[in-house]
């Protein structure tokens, strides 16, 4: 005889509202998904939160990820969520240690896709050397989300030699960019509905913490400022730094590293690559005398092969970023206004 009462499905191929109920289905989802894939000594305790000891000053950062589509060339929202927060911590001059991980899932997400995202999270966390120590899962009705949103928060220990602060920036300091600009934004656009175009462009999302740690080991406080130019692109970050430091910034368009295909796509779409979102690169403002040495070290790092000096801090035009164009003209580079493309990360 078939049982008449509704028995919760234990072997499910999509996530439903029940998985966010806090009851048996939630338990099953966590058991057969989150916990077995992300397994570590902190999660195994299955507490309401994580407890651990940290010795020394820390950096703390949080970010939410709503990228659409959730799967894009070169990655998915899972690794983006780990790399994003890891990189924010690294930019504070810290060595990332622990992350929290919270999902808001729209019902109907295929379990396979969720597992793929979890596996990417695990791999990205392993690569960065961070542990996911606590988290949360909520499910919302169809139409109230977009597949999956993720929040990660993280804690890192400040590197003993780090002194990252805009107040340390002086005229003459060099601005270094670690790699090709605009790659992530264009990779996402190439698969965005209504805008699809064929390309081989893949997102460069990656964790930058080990690269930064190595630079701090060698150059300490000669690294004055670090920032990853995600939303708003390189232009917006440079404006932020110029404003914070009350110095002028001069950059040379000729030196800006960009992939040929990405540049072509920008031309086609009418976008200025300086305003397109990035993921796997950072901007460093460094002491003038150390710039060459730092660049050689960075160019030997997997995340810095295309690293180059793009400009310097100057006394003139405080708070303004001036670009010397390819043909020798000069113009102001402003903040991004509005959105070039929403939900890029």
Partner 1 sequence: MKYLSEYRNPELVEKYLELIFHVTTKQWKLMEICGGQTHSLVKNGILDMLPGQITMVHGPGCPVCVTPISIIDEAIYLAQQSGIIICSFGDMLRVPGSKKNLLEAKAEGADVRILYSPLDAVQLAKENPGKEIVFFAVGFETTAPANALSIVQAHKSGIRNYSILASHVLVPPAMEALLSDKENEIDAFLAAGHVCTIMGMEEYHPIAEKYKTPVVITGFEPVDLLQGILMAVQQLENGEYKVENQYVRYVQRAGNRLAKEMMMEVFAVSDRIWRGIGNIPQSGYEVNEQYKQYNARVKFKLNLPVAEENKDCISGEIMKGLKKPFQCPNFGTACKPEHPLGAPMVSSEGTCAAYYHYASAKEPEEII
Distance, in Å, from the CA atom of 216 to the CA atom of 334, rounded to the nearest integer, reads: 30
What is the distance between the alpha carbons of residues 43 and 133, in angstroms, rounded to a whole number?
A: 6
Among candidate residues 126, 295, 99, the one with its CA nearest the CA of residue 211: 295
Q: Is 148 exposed, middle or buried (0-12, 13-18, 19+ CB in 10 A)?
A: buried
- Binder to partner 1 among 36, 267, 289, 292 (CB under 8 A)? 267
Over the window 283 to 322, marking each residue x when it contacts partner 1 by CB under 8 A and - when it does not, the resulting string is: ----------------------------------x----x
**Nearest residue (CB) to partner 1, 110 versus 332:** 332
Alpha carbon distance 308, 299 (integer Å): 8
Angle at 337 between CA 334 and CA 340, to 5 degrees: 115
Only one of the segments 5-13, 60-68, 145-153, 326-334 lies at the binding site for partner 1 (rule: CB under 8 A); that segment is: 326-334
Q: Minimal distance in Å, beta carbon 14 to partner 1?
A: 24
Please spell the DSSP secondary structure of 117-186, one letter per residue: HHHHHHHHHHHHT-EEEEEEEEEE-TTSSSSEEEEEEEEEEEPTT----GGG--TTPEEEE-S-SSHHHH
Of the residues 63, 252, 272, 301, which one makes contact with partner 1 according to CB under 8 A: 272
Q: How far is the CB of 104 from partner 1 (least distance, A)?
A: 22
Give, as ranges, the residues between 136 and 195 that touch partner 1 (CB under 8 A). 194-195
Nearer to partner 1, 11 or 260 (CB): 260
Q: Which of 263, 301, 306, 308 binds partner 1 (CB under 8 A)?
A: 263
CA distance 202 to 298: 22
DSSP secondary-structure letter at 35? Answer: I
Which of 163, 172, 257, 264 touches partner 1 by CB under 8 A?
264
Stretch touching partner 1 by CB under 8 A, among 20-28, 31-39, 170-178, 323-331: 323-331
CA 131 to the chain's CA centroid:
17
Choose, by CB under 8 A, the member of 2, 7, 143, 330 that binds partner 1: 330
How many chain residues bind partner 1 (CB under 8 A)? 23
Toward partner 1, which CB reaches closer, 63 or 252? Answer: 252
Minimum separation from the CB atom of position 235 to partner 1 (A):
9
Chain-centre distance for alpha carbon 261: 22
Residues near partner 1, by CB under 8 A: 194-195, 260, 263-264, 267, 270, 272, 317, 322, 324-334, 337-338
């Amino acid at each position: 005889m078939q049982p008449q009462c509704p028995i919760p499905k234990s072997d499910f191929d999509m996530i439903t509202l029940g998985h966010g109920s806090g009851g048996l289905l939630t338990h099953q989802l966590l058991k057969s998904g989150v916990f077995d894939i992300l397994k570590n000594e902190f999660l195994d305790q299955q507490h309401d939160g994580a407890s651990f000891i940290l010795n020394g000053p820390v950096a703390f950062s949080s970010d939410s990820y709503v990228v659409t589509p959730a799967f894009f060339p070169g990655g998915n929202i899972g690794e983006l969520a780990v790399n994003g927060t890891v990189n924010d911590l690294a930019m504070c001059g810290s060595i990332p240690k622990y992350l929290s991980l919270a999902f808001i899932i729209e019902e109907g997400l295929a379990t396979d896709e969720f597992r793929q995202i979890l596996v990417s999270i695990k791999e990205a966390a392993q690569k960065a050397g961070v542990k996911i120590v606590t988290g949360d899962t909520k499910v919302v009705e169809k139409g109230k989300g977009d597949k999956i949103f993720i929040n990660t928060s993280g804690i890192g220990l400040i590197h003993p030699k780090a002194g990252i602060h805009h107040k340390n920036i002086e005229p003459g300091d060099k601005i270094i960019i670690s790699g090709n600009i605009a790659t992530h934004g264009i990779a996402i656009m190439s698969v965005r509905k209504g805008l699809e175009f064929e390309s081989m462009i893949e997102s460069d999302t990656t964790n930058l913490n080990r690269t930064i740690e190595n630079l701090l080991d060698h150059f300490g406080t000669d690294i004055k400022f670090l920032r990853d130019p995600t939303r708003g692109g390189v232009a917006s970050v440079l404006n932020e730094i110029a404003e914070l430091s009350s110095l002028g910034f001069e950059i040379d368009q000729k030196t800006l590293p960009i992939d040929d295909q990405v540049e072509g796509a920008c031309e086609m779409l009418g976008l200025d690559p300086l305003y397109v979102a990035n993921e796997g690169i950072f901007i460093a403002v460094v002491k003038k005398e150390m710039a060459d040495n730092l660049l050689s070290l960075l160019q030997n790092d997997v995340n810095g092969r295309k690293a180059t000096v793009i400009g310097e801090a100057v006394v003139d035009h405080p708070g303004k970023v001036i670009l010397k164009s390819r043909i020798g003209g000069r113009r102001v580079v402003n903040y991004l206004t509005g959105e070039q493309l929403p939900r890029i990360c």
